[in-house]
Amino acid sequence: MPGYTKLLLISFICCCIGCLQAQEPAYILDYSDKLLLRLYTISKVNSLTIENRLEELGLELLPNGNTNLGLGFNYKKFGLGLAFGLPLSVEKKRKFGKTQRLDIQGSMYGRKIGADGFLQSYRGYYNSNPTDFIDWTSDVLPQIKSMRILSLGVTGFYLFNSDKYSYRAAFVRDEIQKKSAGSFLLGLFGNYDEARTDAGFVPQEFPDSLRTKINVKGFKNLAIGFSAGYAHNFVIKEKFLLGLAVIPGFGYQRVSITELNGSIRNEDQPAGQVMARIGLGYEFKPFYLALTGSANWRNIDFSPYNFKLATEQFRFIIGKRLGI
């Protein structure tokens, strides 16, 4: 699948490094009995790219993104965070339009078993690459106010080397990885994606000839499958940590697309996704700084179209462990 080769290569390199790790004790410090408080900013997005491979063109559609400010805590493996959207400027609304959203993402990470889930409902998108199709000089990008995307997904996995590798050390921070280590992961995934518009995904400012090349006004997709990957924590001089995780998934999906004239086409096909995470952390007890990012990339290949969906989020965190 396009773009996945590099991610698989990264996981292979991490795997090789993991095999070279010495078998030493005291890899993980568990601070889950301490109250962890965190202040963070978070940015989320649910984007769609529609390609027509025969015509060699791609339509990039994005919501008007905003940054949220949040507060959260973790205690004894339980965590909760609440974030509130920061106001968008009038200028940003003018250029990119208005997006209405409901965006919930959650996770559960034990010592051996972990799970991630998301629910996203977005309405109001803009096209980010109009110059690929027409001579566009305005700073206001083409907008599709009626465009809606609903995405639900869950991924569960099992860690094979939980005695030495801590997923929570990289992505929760209530544990500390003392020595570099990694682990293979094996799990299951399920996704549902639905996108629809009133008059198609091509903005009204574009020529009618483009609508014959992207003759779609909606689609639905249900996918299930298994996933296998690798995660690794690199500890640098005890205070710095770099955590990487790449979990490709393969399975079955049922696709339904609706064309501009209302006709519906269905197809059963192989499913594919890639889940990737990165975590950077710096310890200066009792505080810590962290930068984390996660992505779930999904692909729907329905000739002549290729639909690429991306659920992504990025966090910057400052936290404190009470009782240390």
What does the pLDDT look like over 122-154, one tens digit per residue? 999 999 999 999 999 999 999 999 999 999 999
pLDDT at 157: 96
pLDDT 10s digits, 47-92 = 999 999 998 899 999 999 888 999 999 888 788 888 888 888 889 9
Q: Is the pLDDT of residue 7 over 70?
A: no
Q: Indicate the pLDDT class of residue 171, thresholds 50, 70 and 90.
A: very high
pLDDT at 286: 79
Structure tokens at 124: 């109001």
| 134 contacts: CB under 8 Å, gap ≥ 6 | 205, 206, 207
- Residue-range domain boundaries for the chain: 5-322
Please give the model's pTM, rounded to 2 decimal places: 0.85
Instruction: Quote the pLDDT of residue 324.
Output: 58
- Calculate mean pLDDT across residues 156-167: 95
Distance CA 242, CA 233 (A): 6
pLDDT at 125: 97
Q: List Cα–Cα distances, 51 to 61, 297, 306, 321, in angstroms.
A: 11, 15, 5, 47
Average pLDDT over every residue of 213-233: 96
Per-residue confidence (pLDDT) for residue 8, from 0 to 100: 39
| Average model confidence (pLDDT) across the chain | 89
Name the CATH architecture for the domain at 5-322: Beta Barrel (2.40)
Contact indicator for 160, 182 with CB cutoff of 8 Å? no
pLDDT (tens digit per residue) in 87-118: 888 899 999 999 999 888 888 888 899 999 89
Mean pLDDT calculated for residue range 206-229: 94
CA distance 316 to 245: 18
| The predicted structure's pLDDT at residue 62 | 96
User: Which candidate, 259, 308, 304, 257, places its Cα nearest to that of 53?
Assistant: 304
Res 2: pLDDT: 42
216 burial via Cβ count (<10 Å: 0-12, 13-18, 19+): buried
Over pLDDT 70: what percentage of the chain? 92
What's the mean pLDDT in 156-182? 94
